[in-house]
Amino acid sequence: MKFIIISGTPGTGKTTISNNLLKYINAKVISLNELVIERNFVLEYDQERETSIIDEKKLIKNLDKMIKNYVKTSIDYLIIEGHFSDIIPEKYMDLIIILRCHPDELFVRLKKRGYMNKKILENIQSEILGSCANYFISKERELPLYEIDTTNSKIKEISKKILDIINGNVDINDYLIGEIDWLEEISNQDRLNEFFK
Ligand SMILES: Nc1ncnc2c1ncn2[C@@H]1O[C@H](COP(=O)(O)OP(=O)(O)OP(=O)(O)O)[C@@H](O)[C@H]1O
Ligand SMILES: [Mg+2]
């Protein structure tokens, strides 16, 4: 069994894509967000930042148990999706896909969800800086880490790209970290002030 980690800023489509992938491969999905809510791993709610503080210890222990149970089954892939993927042990990282989304489209997606502007801006800032990749890059071992732009792509097309990466059917250079650079783009457009005040 291989482990696929799907990470990315909230709103980039991790849950949507992970579930769509189930149509094409013999896999199961562990959604870290759902796990936290289902098992009640929320310690407290930060009203100001509209964010839940989670009990990481409990989550890690539970995740490990779940993974060990899945390993005993006959599935080919276990997809673990969530934006706080830094809690996933490195031994469970066979492939890491980070979903990216242009700041303007991310704004639309997060606004639709009813997030307040402060929270939207925080998320957009971390997307512009490509923060999700930092944790994986900081690891000693070089991990198979790729980024996919979801901005103008249909769910099916994004799944197809992931399947192509899994099967080695693509020029992997197109998906390396650094290819997607919102910071350069908005800076060239003189729009930095819009996002970083
Ligand atoms: N490729 C896409 N094109 C357009 N809309 C999309 C795409 N992928 C996802 N969406 C929409 O964007 C919203 C966010 O998607 P989703 O909930 O899958 O994101 P997420 O990364 O799992 O977020 P979170 O980290 O908060 O769980 C949903 O309304 C979804 O329908
Ligand atoms: Mg989600």
Domain CATH number, residue 39: 3.40.50.300
State the number of CA atoms in the 13 A half-sphere of 33 facing the CB.
15
Q: Which of 82, 119, 127, 133 is nearest to 103 (CA)?
A: 127
How far does residue 51's CA lie from ligand 2's centre (Å)? 14
Distance CA 21, CA 79 (A): 9
What's the gap in Å between 99 CA and the centre of ligand 1?
A: 10
Interior angle at CA 139, CA 145 and CA 70, nearest 5: 65
Q: Is the CB of 161 under 6 A from ligand 1?
A: no
Kindly identify the ligand whose nearest atom is closest to the C-alpha of 19. Answer: 1
Burial of 25 (0-12, 13-18, 19+ CB in 10 A): middle
Task: Output the CA torsion sign for 102, 96, 64, 74.
Answer: positive
Tokens of residue 183, six digits: 């910071």
Q: Which atom of ligand 1 is nearest to the CA of 99?
A: 21
Range of the domain at 43: 2-195
Q: How many whole angstroms from 92 Cα to the centroid of ligand 1?
A: 24
Q: How many domains would you assign to the chain?
A: 1
pLDDT of residue 46: 87
pTM to 2 decimal places:
0.96
| Tens-level pLDDT at each residue, the chain (197 residues) | 999 999 999 999 999 999 999 999 999 999 999 999 999 999 998 888 788 899 999 999 999 999 999 999 999 999 999 998 888 999 999 999 999 999 999 999 999 999 999 999 999 999 999 999 998 998 888 899 999 999 999 999 999 999 999 999 999 999 999 999 999 999 999 999 999 98
Chain position carrying tokens 């908005």: 186
Q: What is the pLDDT of residue 75?
A: 98
